[in-house]
Amino acid sequence: MPITFPRELPDVGYLAADVVLREGVTASSAASGLINYTQVAPAVWEASLTTRSLLLSQFAELEAWWISLRGGLRSVLFRHPHVCYPKAHWQNHGPADDPGNLLSVADGNLLSVNSVDAGLVLAPGDRIGLERSGRYYVGRVTEASGSGTTRTITVEPPPFATVALAGAVVRFAKPAILMRPVPDSFQAPRNGRFYTVSFKLVESA
C-alpha cells in the first residue's frame, strides 16, 4: 500500500514535545542609538521531540518513518501528542470536538467564527487551527469572547492569507500543521537494549 503524505506523527510515546514560535524578527542598532526591529522571515513553529525508551523493533519503525521524509523533501501533518484540547476541555472533550466555520478576519488576527458548540470555552494560551484546501495553520489564543454558537478569537501569529479565508474550518481539538524535518536533527543514542530518539520539525508551507 503506497504511503500517503503528509504523514502523521508516529504514536511511539514522547517524553517531551516542545513547540516554540520562531518569530523571524531581528534587532539592530541604528546610528541614533535606537534599536530597529525588522521582520525578516515569516513566523514558524518548531517542534523538538524526545521519545520514551524504545526497543530495537520500535526504533527501526520510527527510523523508517523518518527516512521516508527524505530529509525534509516530504512533509508531516503534526498534531501535538500531549496538548490536544483547550484547557477547559481536557476532560469534557465534546464542545471542542465540534469544528467551527471562519466567517472573517479583521486586523490580520481577529477571527470571527460561527457554528461552534455553545459550550465551547477558550482561554489565552489555547491552540486552535485553521484548515482550507490542504493548507493548515495553528495559533495561540490571546483573547476570546462570544456566546451561543459564535466566537471572536484573537490569535498569534496572524494566519497566512491562503488559509485565513471565509469558509475555512476552525479546529479546537487536535489542530494540525504541516511540518518538515530539520536536517541532521535525528539522534538515537542507545543505552543497553533501548534507544531514546530525538528530532526536530519545522513548520512549512
Rounded CA gap, 28 and 139, in Å?
Answer: 27
- Looking at residue 32, its pLDDT comes to 72
**Beta pairing, strands 44-51 & 35-39:** unpaired
C-alpha dihedral sign at 92, 98, 104, 105:
positive
Q: Is the dihedral of CA 79, 81, 87, 90 positive or negative?
A: positive
What average pLDDT values come out for the chain (205 residues) when binned by 10 residues?
Answer: 92 98 88 81 96 98 98 97 97 97 98 98 98 97 98 97 97 98 97 97 93
Tell me which residue of 149, 141, 91 sits closest to 120, measured CA to CA: 149
Residue 2 confidence (pLDDT): 84
Q: For position 86, what pLDDT does the model report? A: 98
Distance CA 195, CA 187 (A): 10
